[in-house]
Every structure is written in C-alpha cells, then in structure tokens.
Chains A and B, each alone.
Chain A
Amino acid sequence: MTAPAIELKAINKRFGPVWANRDIDLKVMPGTVHGIVGENGAGKSTLMSILYGFYTADTGEILVNGQNLDIRNSQQAIQAGIGMVHQHFMLVEPFTVLENVMLGMEGQAVLANARGKARKALQDIASRYGLEVDPDAIVGELPVGLQQRVEILKALYRGAKILILDEPTSVLTPQETGQLFEILESLRSQGVTVLLITHKLKEIMAITNHVSIMRAGTMVAHRETAHTSPEELAELMVGRKVLLRVDKQPAQPGEQRMEIKNLDYSDDRGVRRLKDINFNLRSGEILGVAGVSGNGQSELLKMLSGALAPNQGVMVLDTRAGHSELSAGSWRDAAEIRDLGIAHVPENRLRQALVKAFSAAENAILGYHDKPEYGETFLEPEKVVNATEVMMEAYDVRPRLPGLKTANFSGGNQQKLVLAREMLKEPDILLIGQPTRGVDIGAIEFIHRNMIAARDKGAAVLLVSVELDEILSLSDRIIVMNDGAITGEVMASETNEAELGLLMTSTAGEVPTAGNGPTGGAKAPQSEQQEEAVA
C-alpha cells in the first residue's frame, strides 16, 4: 500500500477559548480528489491553513508522502509540494499571467532570462494539464474562471503535487465550474492530489473520490463518495436530518407592486454598472435575480432600497403608502423607501445590515429607530428590548439575549435577526440579497420556509442570489443579469441550470459578442444600441 499523500494525525488548534480543530485525523491518497465539507465555522479553512503553514497546530503531526514534516510557513509548504488556490485570488491584476506566475520565483535581479525560462516552463505545464492561458494577457482583464486557472498554474509552476482548492466554484458560472472540473480530472489523471473544500454537496458528488465531513471543529466521518449520498452528507454536517428541497405551492401573483423602467447607473469612476434595467414585481411572487457575483446585482439592490440613486430611470410603486413614482431626480433615501412599505435584507449582513459593536436589541431597530414605538422623545430601552424579544422568539434567534453583542451571535442567528427585523413588519415588497450566504444548512431551511410564507401572505419578493440552486428552488420567475444588463427572463418551472448559465454569460439583446466574458471585461463593448431584451 502506498503512503498517503497527506496524513494528518490528531491535529489540535485553539484560538483563545475556541477549539477550531480538535483531534483531526485525515488521510488523502495520492492521485485522488478528496473533498472536505462542513458548515461555516466547522474548521475546514483552519485545517487547510495549518496544512499550508499559515497557522501552526498546537499539537499533532503532518505527514506528506509518509514523511513527518513541520510546516511553519507557506514557503515550507510549497517546498513540500503543496499548493493552495484561495477563495479570493492572490493575483496582481495589472501584471500579465506570466509575471504573476513568476512572482516570488524570479531567481535573479535581471528578469529577461528568468522570463524566457518561465515562459517555457509555463507552456509545458499548460499543455500537460490542459490549462491553456495566454501568458501575456493582463490578469485583471481575464474572466474570473481564467484568473482561477492562473492561480492553479502558479501552484503547479512551484512544483505542487498536492493542490488545495478553497471554495473554488463560489465565483464561477455553471459552465466555468464544468471547465474547472475537467481540469481537476486531468490533474488527477496526471497523479496530482486535489483537496477540495466546499459546502456544495453536488460538487462533492460530482468530482471527488473520497469525502471527509467536519462539524464544529471535529472530523465526524470519512466516506467513499460512491457509497454516500447528499442526504447523508448533509445529515453528518448538521448533526440531524435536513430537508434539502424547498416545499412550495405554485405562486399566485396578484397586483403589480413595483415597476422598474430604464434604470441606469454609472459609478464614481464612470463605469456603467446598470444598463437599462426593466422589470416588474407582483404581490405573491418571488422574482429571482440570477447572475455571477459582481454583474450589477448589488447596485440594483442598493438602488431599489435607497442606498444609491440612479442616473436615469423610474421606479413605480404601489404599496400601502399608495401610488408613488420615483425618478432619477427625485429618488428617496433608505428611510423614506422603508416608509413606503419596502423592507431590505442586504447581501452583506455584517457590512450593511448590522453594526457588530451594537447589542442585538440595538440592531433590532436599525432603520426603524425613528419609529415612535421605540420611545417618544428618547429611545426607551424597555420598549426596544421587548420588541427584540418578540423578534427572537418568532425567528428562533439564539441565544435569546437582546443585550448580547451582535458579533457574538453566529452567522445564521445574525441573519435570522435581520430577517425578523425586516419581515415581521410584513412589508409589501421584500428585497432580499444572498439570504443564506454563510448560514448553516439548518438555518437555510428555516429562512427559505419563511420567505415562501411571506410570499404566500402576499408580499412581493425580489431575491438576489449567486447560488443557482437557491434561485431555482425559491423563485417563481427569474431574470438573469450579466455586465449590468438583464440578459433574459424565464419562468422557474420552465428552465434549468444550463439555460441560466448560458444567459449569465450572454449579452443583452441576444447579440452574441465575441470576447465578452462574464466579468464584462475592461473593454466590454458599450451596449448603446441594445434594445430591451425582456419580453
């Protein structure tokens, strides 16, 4: 029997009072793809950071190819043949692919020779593993999928035989994910060992040979992928049975609540972030907005909720506050829009929806703090705390301590607090971005159920998510965004991932344009003459 490529024995790591990793054992056989799944905070990233030398384990052993190693920094990890592709790329965007690959390995003060050698080595690696990238392309202008390829090349160039990929698909379209998996297949066939960290069970099933499941800092199980199922993995991750599918009745859309006409927005630097957006939203339906992260969805949400004002366009609202028309010149701020019966659960809860340093009770009134129900002249703490207790009860926020600092709640409970704050007001329109990002599987189930319940009570829900599964299972109708424009509208019941994936990379107006990548590269053709693509 060959020695495992990686063997971890009884790894322990504590951060202050918190056990990030406890008695972790792991064996990864050479030439396999080994998945590591677990919820946020389960300790996956810590474990990989220990392997890659960012952290040093308190106790425990690391064996690489049967040799006991003491890895104290990433240089030593690289020497041991370990490479890592981070979730957020570590690339110098204005540099070319070649320069990025060479970075830190230039060898001598004058670059001319090194560049020639590196170019040759790079071409060898690229052709061997099927990783074609133009070495002279500027990295910042490449689509995300290719940037990731550069990261992989970087690791291989440094002689990596063991590759750690941290949530590699979180920024990719379904098509790019497919391409990545082909690359992983080819790496595997060439004897490279791949460690794949993810929380997407479907990917585990699709590509891995073995899978290890982590929960709360411990390794709870190892499975052969062929002998397990997503249901079993989810149960192992959460520690109880989980409903992976969302139960819902067909939507019964009512009257129109919101209509967006010709919305256009350019940011401070003059980059056109939203291009002629048109859609409508009815009561009793969930409208999903699909797209690769960074294609205008964030700006759209900010605009509809009043955090940004557009350069052009009109928003027509029919809510409890009556009929109102907001145009670019007379946009409202977030407080005024909230008064019109619109609630907003933002994409990034710690950045936008919560103040970490505040208590749960203080955050429970954020945005509604001017309402007289929280005190007349002065804010009255008892009233605020009482309201918070109601929210915590209704949305099962734990622990039920209104006075506890918000930073001390887990991600799922923070999100539940935000949802409770926004949804208990029974808004006419609910804007909701990435509702389950960084949230435990158990909480995801709960959040999805509540969104459906809000819809069934007649709310008009706009859901922005980069998780296609979430879009497909929750939405009734779906619009797809790419490069700031809407590239298509489909009914959720009549579409699939492949079609959405195509729309996510196509250009508005159904004009197939060459070289217009999903990031809407730096020189994406301006779509002046585009007519609206929405039926």
Chain B
Amino acid sequence: MSPILAESPRWVRIGLVPALQLALALVISSLVVLIIGEDPVQAFAIMIRGATNLEFGGFHSTLYYTTNFIFTGLAVALAFHAGLFNIGGEGQAYVAGLGIAIVCLLFDSTLSVWLMAPLVILASAAFGAIWGVIPGYLQAKRGSHIVVTTIMFNFIAMALMSYALVVHISPLGGNSTDSRYWNSDAVFPKWNEMMPDAPFSLLNPTLILALVCCWLVWLLVWRTRLGYAIRTVGSNPHAATYAGINASRTIIITMAISGALAGMMAVNEVYGAQGRLILNFTSGFGFMGIAVALMGRNHPFGVVLASLLFGALYQGGTELQFEISSINPQMVLVIQGLVVFFTGALDRLVRGPVEGAFLRYQLAKAKKAEAADAAVAGGN
C-alpha cells in the first residue's frame, strides 16, 4: 500500500495550525490563571501590553529577546536539517561569551566600535563553532551520540566559565563572578542611545546581525550544494552515500556552523546588552532554541516568527510578574511551558486532525470534479 497523500495548503500548515495550537495553549493557561484566583483576561491583557507597548520600551525588549531566540533557534534548525539534535546551544553560546570577553579585555581600550564589532562577531562565532564541532566530530567519526555529547559540553562550558570568571577574568577576586565593564566606546550602542526619543531597553544592533543570519541560513540550506548535502544526510544517510556525499564531513561542517550561530547569541548579551561577561548570561535561551526551531518548522522565516512570539512571551511574562503579585516567575514559566508543549511537543495533536480534515475536503472536491468530468466525457 502506498497511499497517495497530497500536502495540505501552506497557509494551513504554517498559519492555521500554529494559530490553533497557540489558542489551545491560551485556553489551558487561562484555566491555570483562574485556578490561582486571578482574571485571565486581565492577565493576558497585561502580557500583551507589556510585550508590545512602545512608550515604555516593551516592544523594544521583545525584540531584544527575539534576537537571542533567533540565533539559538537557527542553530537548532540548521542541525535538524542534517538530522542532528543539537541541544548544546546553551554551552556554545556560553563559551562564545568567553571568546568575546577575551577580545574585549584585550582590545576595548584601543579599538573603536567599528573594528571591535567584526572582531567580536568573529570571536563569538569561532568559539561557538569550536564548541559545536567537537561533538560533531565525535558523532561523525566515533559514533558518540550528539545529544549526549552536546549535553555534556553544556556542563563542561558551565564549569569552564565559572573557573575562567572567578580565577582569571573577575577584577575583584574572591568569589566575584562578573568581568569588568567593557569600554563603552568599543561596544554596540543600545537603541535608546542611537535614538534619543526611544525609551530605555537592551535592544541593540545585534538584531540586524540575527536577521542577516536568517537570510544566510536560508541561502545555505536551499540554494547551496552544501545545504543540499546537509539535507540529504539529514533525511537519508544511505542516499547520501549513494550520491557520493561525505556524511562525516557534512556533519562536522554543519555542527561548526550550528555552533557559530548559537555562539553569536553572546554578541547580543555580552557585547550588546550587558557590556560585560556575567555568570549564566545564557539563562536558558540556548535550550529554548529547540522550541523555537520546532515551532518555526526549521525554516529561518518560521524561526523569526517563533522568536518574536517567544520574545513577547518573555517580555510579557516579566511585566505580568510586576503587575500581579500572586503570579510569580514560576507561573510565567508554566504559561511559556504550555506554549512550548502545544506548539512543539504535542505538534501532532492539532496538526494531524486539521491537516487530515483538509485532505479529506480536497479529496471530496476532486472526486466531485472527477464525477463531473466523467459525466461530460461519457465515461471514457
């Protein structure tokens, strides 16, 4: 049996289905808010306002979070195309922060922002790439599972960073875990420093870099021979061997690029927003990249949309904690978790029935047309 299944239309796949999933997450979240005795309508109004208002920088902050999500989401999405589950975005970004710190500590008093920015971007990409390529190599040449190794590398990154910060980077000594601030002439200006009228936010030019990366990833995956090789290795390794594509090489290169993408998240945090290296600056963005990639269907454009959504959830959630005291950070996590749950983990729950309904509808239409044709042709 080979059932002939056409795909449902694109607007159903990437429009209607995610919208329904979000709605479902919203309904369950409302129940949760109700249970703790608050008004869900009010809560969501606060969240939406918090994430979109222009006068207090809510929307700017949303975009700032979006930038992080784009990088880590792209990293996971690209690796997915090669059939690799890179859950080491957290560690790759973290180690990239170390690379930025080294560059900044060495040159921030001598170089201008125009020279520093490219250097910092390169350093972050290179450090992230190294942290991605080692698990990639182990997977390709030694068969060590990428999921296991990338998790381990997250831990190694944590330990390495704690050591580096406390022993070598922190100017204060003791158990201080921050670096000094970089020279403000050498770092990215924030949006409100460039636009005098804008409210304060951590938004900085890294967003542009993120969008450029989206375009580059699209180009790589769908317009280059390397991208073709990556997708072949990811969907059918046997076909890759048959075609003469070197799967090991492709896996290693993919993990290098994936690590570099995750690494550039550190530009937004360490070079753009914080202006110094602090402990745990990645704070889970690397892991959330998995949800972003899932929801964005591993497509750069989808990653941007999903990043916007998660950025808004982060920002809106932060506002919510301020406004309603009974809603604590854990509560916000629950809401975010429900969104991840319905859009990512339980994707099939909504997708299956909705797409199935469309297929049946199309088939019924095709049958009707066929019957009409047959009537006209007189039964062939």
Q: Which residues of A contact B (CB under 8 A)?
A: 15-18, 20, 40-41, 43, 45-46, 305-307, 333-338, 344, 346, 348, 351-358, 362, 365-367, 369-370, 378-379, 405, 407-408, 410-411
Contact = CB atoms under 8 A, between A and B. Distances in A.
A67 B363 CA distance: 37
B239 A41 contact: no
B236 A307 contact: no
B242 A17 contact: no
Given A17-B359, A334-B244, A335-B245, A351 B223 contact: no
A369 B228 contact: yes
Given A336-B244, A352-B238, A16 B224 contact: no
Nearest to A377: B224
A340 B20 CA distance: 54
Interface string B220-232: 0001110011011
A346 B241 CA distance: 12
A353 B244 CA distance: 11
B225 A408 contact: no
24 contacts: A17-B3, A17-B360, A17-B362, A18-B5, A20-B1, A40-B2, A333-B246, A334-B241, A335-B245, A336-B244, A344-B242, A351-B236, A351-B238, A353-B239, A353-B242, A355-B231, A362-B228, A369-B243, A378-B219, A378-B224, A379-B223, A379-B224, A408-B5, A410-B4
A306 B4 contact: no
Nearest to B241: A307
Interface of B: 1-7, 219, 223-225, 228-229, 231-232, 235-236, 238-239, 241-246, 356, 359-360, 362-363
A334 B359 contact: no
A321 to B, nearest CB: 15
A45 B1 CA distance: 8
A46 B228 contact: no
Given A16-B3, A43-B1, A405-B7, A355 B235 contact: yes
Nearest to A348: B238
Given A16-B356, A17-B363, A379-B224, A346 B242 contact: yes
Contacts of B3: 15-18, 20
Contacts of A338: 244
B4 A18 contact: yes
A366 B239 contact: yes
A46 B1 contact: yes
B297 to A, nearest CB: 13
A356 B238 CA distance: 12
Contacts of A41: 1-2
Contacts of A45: 1
Contacts of A46: 1
A307 B1 contact: no
B236 A15 contact: no
Contacts of B360: 16-17
A52 to B, nearest CB: 15
Contact of A366 (B223, B232, B246, B362): B232
Contacts of B5: 16-18, 407-408
B229 to A, nearest CB: 8
A16 B360 CA distance: 7
A326 to B, nearest CB: 14
Contacts of B362: 17
A362 B229 CA distance: 11
A355 B82 CA distance: 13
B244 A367 contact: yes
Given A17-B359, A379-B224, 16 more contacts: A15-B3, A16-B359, A16-B360, A17-B360, A18-B1, A18-B3, A20-B1, A20-B3, A334-B244, A338-B244, A354-B239, A355-B231, A355-B232, A366-B239, A367-B243, A410-B4
Contacts of A335: 243-245
A356 B235 contact: yes
Contacts of A366: 232, 239, 242-243
B224 A334 contact: no
Given A334-B244, A338-B244, A408 B4 contact: yes
Contacts of A379: 223-225, 228
Nearest to B356: A16
Contact of A307 (B223, B225, B242): B242
B249 to A, nearest CB: 11
Contacts of B246: 333
A334 B245 CA distance: 8
B365 to A, nearest CB: 11
Residue of B5, B360, B362 most packed against chain A (CB within 10 A): B5
B243 A334 contact: yes
A408 B5 CA distance: 6
Contacts of B229: 369
A307 B245 CA distance: 10
Nearest to B367: A17
Contacts of B219: 378
A365 B228 CA distance: 10
B236 to A, nearest CB: 5
A121 B291 CA distance: 58
Contacts of B1: 15, 18, 20, 41, 43, 45-46
B224 A356 contact: no
